[in-house]
Structure 1
Amino acid sequence: MSWVDLVTNPQGLRKIFPEGPPPLSGASLHGLVVEREGPTLRLRLDLPAYPANPPATWLRGGFNTVQVELLFGGVSELRLVGIATEVIADLEIRPADGVSLEVRSASMVVAALAASVTVSEVVAYLDGGRETDR
């Protein structure tokens, strides 16, 4: 089972990545927000892979990076150890009583249990620091 199979709304990711789910190893973590409503945990991250056949608007824009925001709803446990400004992490989303999340990097560990995970946003942009063959 892929992490995308655990998402409540996987259609957008499956359309952008028809060749298979994007990996979550080596993702660049941009933000982590905890909100009391739900309670929820929002993760904003750059995926390490770019689609082989991106949408035409992404091609026209010259984009090379896909950023997603994952919303974990009904969070019942959360643990955060360490913090840094430049976090390249490996993420694992697994089935549990709902879903479990683990984020691991050299400087930070996040672990959570939630009732669900939803993709709340998918965008593309040009990351000037990222190597590309496009």
Structure 2
Amino acid sequence: MNLPLWPELAALYETPPDLSSCPLYYVHVDERDTSITLGFETSRLPDRPRAEWEGERYDTVRFFVVFTGADELRIAGIATEDPDARDRTVDIVVTDTGRQRVSVTSEKRSITFSASASTVTQIHIYLQGSL
């Protein structure tokens, strides 16, 4: 995986979490803006938490990756609940031309597309379990 450099995650983590290990809980395709937003969460806590999180109780970090200039979208096996969600892979490869080839695949479902750029937005923390 040749991930794009996302300064928002690099500011929090020495090594950003592997997206294949992060539950994907949100997909939004905006055909007007030719963007695709993927929402992930991870229980891997930041190495360098934000100052405003000091003293907060949390066990989950949630963030969105917005891919812009998206095209070549292919979706197969849409379902409201995905029993294969934990057995999926997320691959993002930056091509020689600078485009990002994105694929999220499991045995029965997939979404693939190409994008000109991506950024991480809306990083939130919350308490999912009990500490």
Scaled to the shorter chain, the TM-score interval is: 0.7 to 0.9
Opposite residue 10 of structure 2, the aligned amino acid is R
- Which protein is richer in strand relative to its size? 1
Summarize the alignment of residues 109-128 of structure 1 with structure 2, pairs less than 5 Å apart. Answer: 109-128=110-129
Aligned identity (percent) is: 25
Give the Cα–Cα distance (whole angstroms) in 1 for the partners of residues 44 and 93 of structure 2.
Answer: 20
> TM-score scaled by structure 2?
0.80
Give the Cα–Cα distance (whole angstroms) in 2 for the partners of residues 116 and 42 of structure 1.
Answer: 12
Q: How many residues align?
A: 125
Summarize the alignment of residues 68-79 of structure 1 with structure 2, pairs less than 5 Å apart. Answer: 68-79=63-74
- Residue 21 (str. 1) matches residue 16 (str. 2): yes
Give the Cα–Cα distance (whole angstroms) in 1 for the partners of residues 110 and 64 of structure 2.
Answer: 18
**Consecutive unaligned residues in structure 1, runs of 5 or more:** none
**Consecutive unaligned residues in structure 2, runs of 5 or more:** none
How much has 1:22 moved relative to structure 2? 1.9
Change (3 A) 1:120 1:56: closer
Give the Cα–Cα distance (whole angstroms) in 1 for the partners of residues 17 and 109 of structure 2.
Answer: 22
Change (3 A) 1:2 1:47: farther
How much has 1:106 moved relative to structure 2? 4.1
